[in-house]
Amino acid sequence: MNIALLSKHFKTNICNIIEKIISELSNYECDILMHSSSSKNFSNSKITCFDDPDEIIKKSDIVFVVGGDGTIVHYAKEAAKFDKPIFGINGGNLGFLSACDKDEILKVREIIEGNYLISERLMLVIEFEGKHFTALNDVVVNRNADASILRYDVSKKGKLICSHSADGIIFSTPTGSTAYSLSAGGPIIDENLGSIVLTPICAHTLATRSMVLDASGELSLSIKKSKNENDEFFISIDGETFRQNLSENKTIKITKSKLTAKFIEPMNYNFYDKIRKKLVGDLQ
């Protein structure tokens, strides 16, 4: 079995977690695949180095990712391109997308022995300005702090769903429903549902609330022309931000991706336990 072992940041705490994982993997008949730049921090005869990150994922059977939620999102999208499942080990703070915390490294044994389930997560394809992007968590559109209120229409299959005046809007997958959308007042959605959550950001009407839509069909966000030609808005896709001018109407198209992110979960994994532990625990 080939195990890709990936991380974006090699701080002391991350390296300590990776050392423990390598130690556990050494007890099994498997090869560890790592990037050449990161493997220099570790020494083990079972480590094979590659310069190309895609090559690591393509040659792997399972992708182990150590880091925070941002790191897991990044590699989950990369692994989805090659239909590879990922196992997230929390090396950050909240670690909501991880299936294993740093004090639960022994769960690695369960994964290697095949005692796990795979959760397939919806992803989105975003098209604007002739470019295409993929989102696992969310797509956020909001105004510049100095800009006028953002006015927009949201349509599905050509039919108007809603019109808002607000600071912005969040299009969230079920995986991303516990992130920015939740902070903005959106609902928590079961990870395995095929739905998209629309959550306005600071809407200027009291009646405006989140909506949960079926993910089939194309969603279209049309930004209405601003009175101020210097106004700008930002589109953020899984945290990566792009700046756009509001001097003319803009349309952003959002559709369900043909790819899914495959998350490995231990047999005793419980989404609702995670909600209580990660999001409710501090309130009890």
CA distance 148 to 106: 53
Of residues 69, 138, 167, 238, which has the active-site annotation? 69
In this structure, is the dihedral angle defined by the CA atoms of residues 134, 140, 141 and 147, taken in order, positive or negative? negative
- Find how far residue 123's CA is from the centre of its chain: 8
- 89 residue type, one letter: I
CA distance 237 to 136: 9
Match 């995986």 to its residue by tokens: 175
CA distance 272 to 190: 9
Q: Which structure tokens are listed for 51? A: 């310069």
User: What secondary structure letter does DSSP report for 218?
Assistant: -
**Cβ atoms within 10 Å of 39's Cβ, excluding its own:** 18
Q: Which structure tokens are listed for 218? A: 């194309």
Beta pairing partners, 156: 159, 219
Does the annotation mark 273 as catalytic?
no
Torsional class of 258: left (φ above 0), alpha (ψ -120 to 50), beta (otherwise): alpha
Q: Which structure tokens are listed for 93? A: 């703070």
If we measure between CA atoms, which residue out of 89, 69, 79, 119 comes closest to residue 238?
Answer: 69
CA distance 227 to 69: 38
- 266 residue type, one letter: P
**Cβ atoms within 10 Å of 131's Cβ, excluding its own:** 8
Supply the residues annotated as catalytic.
69
